[in-house]
Structure 1
Amino acid sequence: MKWVYIVAGIALFFKMLALPNPAPSLQDFSIVETLVKDGGIPNAVTVVILRNRLYDTIYEVVVFTIAIMGAYFLLANEKPSNTFYRFTDQTSIILARLGATIAAMVSIELAIRGHLSPGGGFAAGVAGGTAIGLIAITSSSEWMQGIYQRWQAATWEKVSVLIFIVLAAITLAGIELPHGEMGALISGGVVPLLNILVAVKVALGSWAVILVFIRYRGLL
């Protein structure tokens, strides 16, 4: 049986060499312009991620959620650390919190306007997680944990995932919101909402992982 596979592989190899696929005729055709027109927003990358390949993006969000659950699971049997490492000198604290403020502002900007300019939900979530990480290395773990529980961040993270999946399923079913005016803040149908939900999910998920590593390892 293995000879059949070998012969088939050799035949396929020579087929690719002797009969290359003809180049498609794309005269007067721009993929970027087509994507922008279909999505109703100027950011073609966001159109691909949250519209043309939305099915893939759903599973990317799910995989990120599973990764957070995995961090909890793998560290659940470890003994919490008694030593916590963080900045103590005033200069480092001021610089880290200044950086956290800038990262938080960038996160909000990317989440709200990511469909109009370079950026988007994942980039916004990473910026938000960076802001949280900078605050974590300058604050006590008890204070960070208290804020996390007070604002019920874990609940909001799960809710954002559920809403994202529901909106994505509705979009994949062919039901779309009006695209609005090209270039306007409220445009692109459901894309801005998906951007914000992804940003919330990634930022809060990063916060959860940071707290876990601080608790069980004493550092990030």
Structure 2
Amino acid sequence: MDSAAKALADKISGEVVFAENPGKTLKKWRLIFEVSQKELAAKLNVSPSVISDYEGDRRKSPGIAFVRKIIEALLDIDRERGYRTVSKYRDLIDGFQIDVILDMKEYDEPVISSKFRDIIDGEDVTNYEKLVNGHTIVDSLKAIVSLNSYDFYRLYGFTTERALIFTKVSTGRSPMVAVRVANLKPAVVVLHSLKASQVDKIAAKIADIEKIHLIATEMPVEDMVKALRRYVR
């Protein structure tokens, strides 16, 4: 196992061990690796119902030894696929930092995007109910000026099922054009410092085309970070 895979294994293990609902955290990571319950069960030589019961919290939380076996199985499957998942996050795992990122967090459990909207006191511009597994708050001016396509890709953290929150937005068109041309699409885009009625029509149209839940909010950034860290684990 290379250093990036080992670091990712340690991260997953820590999340699961300290999670309030370990089964849901295991499920989150299985989905990130795009591994089915049947495939994971076959690798572990157990019944798929065992995986289902753990993920649904119908069985007592697995011990650390079995958690490590699950993680090793996910990484082994990923290795057989050419480290398709690990390679996406190698830079983040190795400590990638960039000053356009104001806050970044992965969630132990997914949050419905309508609840996410309420936490940040937002307004719907488009309304496509999605699951949110994390957020990245971005200084949009710095992002648009300084990021190349690969840097933009790295804003997604450990999952594309996340909210990208763009601050210092005037109309919302530029961030949404950047999202439009990117290969990966976030579940939710938040345009900060705007009312829903002020969002550019082209920006809203792009969100409709990409089926992205687009939200506008005027909540101060510091308050937004505090709210998200208070209500989302």
The higher relative CO (CA closer than 8 Å, separation ≥ 6) is in 1
* TM-score w.r.t. length of structure 1: 0.27
Give the structure with the higher percent helix: 1
TM-score, normalised to structure 2, is 0.26
Which of the pair has more CA radius of gyration? 1
